[in-house]
Amino acid sequence: MTPEHQVVTVLGVPLDLGVSKLGVDMGPTAIRYAGIFEALAYAGLNFVDAGDLDVARNFALDHLPPREREKAKLDEIIRVSELLAQRVGNARRRGELPIVLGGDHSTAIGAIAGVASTCERLGVLWIDAHPDANTPETSPSGNIHGMPLAVSLGRGIAELVQCGGFAPKVRPEDVCIVGARDIDPGEAAFLHQMGVRLFTTYDIQNMGLHPVMDQALEAVSRRTDAVYVSFDTDAIEGAVAPGTGIVTRGGLSYREISYIMQYIGQNLEFAAMDVIEINPLLDVRNQTAELAVELLMAALGVRYTDYERRYLAANRPVEH
């Protein structure tokens, strides 16, 4: 839900150093090509394209020996996280609404730090097939995109935990995960120990989507003065959103994810949002990025149909 006259600031983070598969660094471009700015303009929202952060890419480090390569990746994620925290924090202090386009989910480390620096108490709504609450000790892969929620809660790699110069960024009782279905044993134990609220896809089927979202928004907003929404496209069923890094069966249907975003758009004035893990190399005719634009608009409180998307695409100015 976007307050009237608030400027929406769109910032791309082409970060792929936290994953094993190549391609998510092209996510911001795919979302731009899918028509995010045409949609914002069509809705009458004020917006600015803040461009992309300058990020080293995975393939650029291939020449390094494995140990040096892993250190270089971590160093770059730390640098990008600090820079992103500054950019998001500054946008918030100007009264803008940051929308962060990923990139892999380690992007959320800096974005959450930036929002947390501008408020007294932050809530985090995490829409994802994975809780991303691993630490280096519990992670089966060692990939940092599986760690950002744990980092934001104050656990994990020290330099990332201290992003922005303070920790933790969020209290466990102010976090809610929605749509999880692929949870590692170590992070399950961590979440239970911390007391983080979690609604799996089974819970959604068992309880119903409306009660889940009602409780989720209450959990992240009741005690807080700002809420960050993190949206990983792998929460969606793979047949609906194939262009994402980790596709597992049993994801949220189109109706379910549409309802979730519409519910957010009608009931939550969030402080910032990310759209994460779109991989054009795995997509089909950019349909995942197009869906992401539709869902983002719903979260902003705007009805944006497939007909409108196709109309805008057909009337897009030709670039010379």
Residue in 177, 223, 214 with CA at minimum distance from that of residue 197: 177
What pLDDT is recorded for position 320? 44
Annotated catalytic residue within 16, 82, 105, 308 = 105
Please state the domain extents for the chain.
7-314
Pairing outcome for strands 7-13 and 97-102: parallel
Q: Tell me the average pLDDT of the chain.
A: 94
Least confident of 186-190, 201-205, 250-254, 311-315: 311-315
Q: Can you give the length of the chain in residues?
A: 320
User: Is 232 tagged catalytic?
Assistant: yes
Alpha helices in 8-106 (DSSP H): 27-33, 36-42, 66-93
Tokens 């386009």 belong to residue = 101
Note the pTM of the prediction, 2 decimals.
0.95
What pLDDT is recorded for position 307? 63
What pLDDT is recorded for position 5? 75
Annotated catalytic residue within 16, 76, 132, 308 = 132
Annotated catalytic residue within 104, 237, 256, 277 = 277
User: Is 130 tagged catalytic?
Assistant: yes
pLDDT exceeds cutoff 60 at 318: no
Contacts (Cβ under 8 Å, ≥6 apart) of 239: none
For residue 266, the SS3 value is helix
pLDDT exceeds cutoff 90 at 194: yes
User: Is 132 tagged catalytic?
Assistant: yes
List phi, psi (to 5°) of 113. -60, -40
For residue 127, the SS3 value is strand
C-alpha to C-alpha distance for 191 and 104, rounded to whole angstroms = 21
Annotated catalytic residue within 145, 187, 256, 294 = 145
Annotated catalytic residue within 25, 232, 256, 294 = 232
User: Is 54 tagged catalytic?
Assistant: no
pLDDT exceeds cutoff 90 at 2: no
The 3 state secondary structure assigned to 183-220 is CCHHHHHHHHHHCCEEEEHHHHHHHCHHHHHHHHHHHH
C-alpha to C-alpha distance for 84 and 311, rounded to whole angstroms = 34
Percent of the chain with pLDDT over 70: 97
pLDDT category at 292 given cuts 50, 70, 90 is very high
Residue 125's DSSP bridge partners are: 176, 229
User: Is 277 tagged catalytic?
Assistant: yes
Asked if residues 102 and 278 have their Cβ atoms less than 8 Å apart, the reply is yes
For residue 296, the SS3 value is helix
pLDDT exceeds cutoff 50 at 23: yes
What pLDDT is recorded for position 226? 98
Annotated catalytic residue within 130, 184, 187, 237 = 130
Asked if residues 270 and 228 have their Cβ atoms less than 8 Å apart, the reply is yes
Least confident of 48-57, 140-149, 244-253: 244-253
CATH class name, domain 7-314: alpha beta
Asked if residues 112 and 148 have their Cβ atoms less than 8 Å apart, the reply is yes
In the predicted model, what is the mean pLDDT of residues 24-49?
95
